[in-house]
């Protein structure tokens, strides 16, 4: 049965100089309001022992606009400023529910520059998008069309560290489930291979980024030699950001292709319930784990399985998938990371990762 899902489609766009100036002002005001509201909430929480609501923060925003000290807030659309307060409210709700850490202040250099516009702050007409305070529509590169008849309910405009502009449109889309299939698969996330399947196949990480890594190292060495605050340092920092962006884009594209294929070919997908946040604390493996993007791989499998009528099963993180013989069920006491192949007393010879994937698949139904 088809289902209606909310989906964010992201596109590159190229602003005019006037639009770039308007967006830069908006990004700065959004960051300012978020930080001021966060400071107010922190003061109230630490000194007065009380929580500040969104309504109170919104009233403070009105006071700031009328105070005369922050007249420049009136230069940009009020909607992104209100949305910043809503995002802060969500951040605190997640913190108090112990789902996230305490909200952090936004940095001009390190935080992503973004602004969110709701339906009252943009005009969508004949496939063109015009934001509030702008006279002309954005020059969007339509890499793929929006669903027929779909109209965005929310638009988020952002600029990444490489200076590229993106617009993300939240739309409702009708998605048909895929035809049922008989195949099931277990997936073992790895470092030498992105994923190993219970079929014996190993899906490797993209190797094209090795050349990018060399470029990145060269650019970072050049950046370290530049004087802080100089124009040359800013130029090299942009070069470093562009290499990072290229690596991230290629990795994300690879993950989309892998997860789409797994969802199309299998009715049930069993994975390990890994806690990546704890695993990256191992400094010797942190970069390799981050490069493999296990968290993003799992997230993509979750929403694609939900959309297309598949079942994703997560096996308990403490399940001894690597130490258990998939042939006879014998459990080994230890299994060092450097052991990639081993032989069980029953005579079965195992590839460590393939054996783990088969055990994950076998344990999957018990977890569902």
Distance CA 127, CA 223 (A): 42
**Which contacts (CB < 8 Å, 24+ apart) does range 160-164 have?**
160/112, 160/241, 160/245, 161/112, 161/238, 161/241, 161/244, 161/245, 162/238, 162/241, 162/242, 162/244, 162/245, 163/238, 163/241, 163/242, 164/12, 164/245
In the residue annotation, 272 being an active-site residue is answered as yes
Distance CA 254, CA 205 (A): 8
In the residue annotation, 188 being an active-site residue is answered as yes
Q: How far is CA 358 from CA 197, 320, 353, 366, in A?
A: 8, 12, 9, 14
In the residue annotation, 9 being an active-site residue is answered as no
| Strand boundaries in 126-183, DSSP class E | 128-131, 140-141, 154-159, 165-175
Q: Are 172 and 5 in contact (CB under 8 A)?
A: yes
Q: Which residue in 22, 116, 209, 272 is the catalytic one?
A: 272
Q: Which residue in 188, 201, 265, 296 is the catalytic one?
A: 188
Which residues are catalytic, by number? 188, 272, 353
């Amino acid at each position: 049965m088809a289902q209606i899902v909310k989906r964010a489609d992201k596109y590159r766009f190229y602003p005019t100089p006037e639009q770039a100036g308007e967006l830069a002002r908006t990004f700065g005001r959004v960051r300012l309001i978020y930080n001021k509201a966060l400071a107010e909430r922190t003061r109230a929480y630490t000194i007065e022992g009380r929580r500040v609501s969104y309504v109170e923060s919104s009233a403070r925003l009105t006071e700031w606009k009328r105070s005369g000290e922050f007249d420049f807030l009136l230069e940009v659309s009020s909607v992104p400023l209100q949305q910043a307060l809503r995002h802060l409210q969500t951040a605190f709700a997640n913190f108090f529910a112990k789902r996230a850490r305490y909200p952090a202040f936004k940095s001009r250099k390190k935080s992503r520059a973004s602004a969110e516009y709701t339906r009252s702050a943009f005009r969508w007409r004949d496939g063109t998008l015009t934001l509030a305070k702008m006279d002309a529509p954005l020059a969007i590169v339509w890499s793929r069309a929006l669903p027929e008849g779909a109209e965005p309910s929310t638009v988020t405009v952002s600029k990444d560290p490489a200076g590229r502009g993106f617009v993300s449109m939240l739309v409702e889309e009708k998605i048909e489930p895929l035809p049922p299939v008989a195949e099931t698969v277990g997936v073992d996330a790895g470092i030498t291979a992105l994923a190993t399947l219970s079929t014996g196949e190993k899906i490797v990480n993209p190797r094209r980024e090795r050349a990018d890594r060399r470029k990145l190292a060269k650019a970072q060495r050049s950046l370290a030699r530049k004087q802080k605050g100089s124009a040359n340092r800013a130029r090299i920092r942009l070069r470093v950001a562009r290499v990072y962006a290229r690596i991230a884009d290629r990795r994300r594209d690879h993950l989309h292709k892998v997860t789409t294929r797994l969802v199309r070919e299998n009715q049930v997908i069993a994975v390990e319930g890994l806690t990546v946040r704890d695993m990256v604390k191992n400094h010797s493996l942190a970069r390799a784990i981050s490069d493999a993007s296990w968290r993003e791989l799992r997230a993509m499998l979750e929403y694609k399985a939900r959309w297309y009528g598949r079942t994703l099963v997560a096996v308990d993180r403490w399940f001894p998938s690597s130490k258990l013989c998939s042939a006879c069920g014998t459990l080994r006491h230890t299994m060092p990371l450097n052991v990639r192949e081993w032989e069980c007393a029953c005579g079965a010879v195992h590839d460590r990762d393939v054996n783990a994937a088969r055990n994950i698949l076998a344990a999957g139904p018990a977890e569902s």
